[in-house]
Amino acid sequence: MIVIDYDPEAVRFANINRALLAASTDRADYVRLRLDASQDVWRQRSQELTGEDKETLVSPPSWTFWDRKVRKNTWAWNSAFQHFNTEPKHPDDPFFASDYLFDDGLYNHLSRLAKSSRIWSRVVDLRRDDEVRAFCDDMKSKHLPLGVIDTSDVPSPSEAGTSVAAHYVMLFSEYAQDDTLFLNTAPARAKGVVWSYFAFSNRTVRGLDETMLKRWYDIEIKKIADSPQARALLDDPELTTH
């Protein structure tokens, strides 16, 4: 798994979080390390790690960054993830069945990736063609295929927009396999924070131009926004068969 973002602080978050996942013994231990553990505890647990994760966790600036930007940065978390640290118990609760702080299966998957050094991160601005191509060229040189490209809610109107999304997807498409998925999220019209998912396979994307792909993004986002239920759409037949 490779985490990319245009913001260096988001990439720094990913690096520290990977180290915490690698150092943790189980989900409850990870939650303690993430939300409550002191700098001394981080330093002690770093001795169980190696390489970049050890350097990250033993570093005092890492703990200071995490304490200030994650634990105490309530405004930023409240604007988008205000419920992430609260256990979802009912299907209507925000992040139900998708919050690895409270789901053993999700935590175990991420923890295994972290412990086996299979989580990487780098700064990439999807709005810059040269950075997208450099990233894809690097992946190709390392014989790492593009499996699922999850750009979260980047295509939404409040972020980069569907035009930018259509453009960078077409760039990725040149390097992707037929079964590569371009995965996105959008908020459903429901109580709380309920995310729906929609994806297009590269097999489908290759037959489009940017204008048509932008139109598909607009249609899917509107469809999800008008629905009171969470949805999961893959190569939506309402689009791909017309």
Amino acid 75: pLDDT? 64
What is the predicted pLDDT for the residue at 154?
A: 75
pLDDT of residue 84: 73
pLDDT score at 34: 95
The pair of structure tokens assigned to 215 is: 């139109």
pLDDT at 160: 59
Q: Which residue from 162, 183, 173 is spatially nearest to 133, judged by alpha carbons?
A: 173
State residue 80's pLDDT score: 54
pTM, 2 dp: 0.87
Give pLDDT, residue 88: 77
Predicted pLDDT at 235: 95
Residue 107 has which token pair?
């935590």
Which segments of the chain have a pLDDT < 50? none
Check residue 81 and give its pLDDT: 60
Q: What is the pLDDT of residue 16?
A: 98
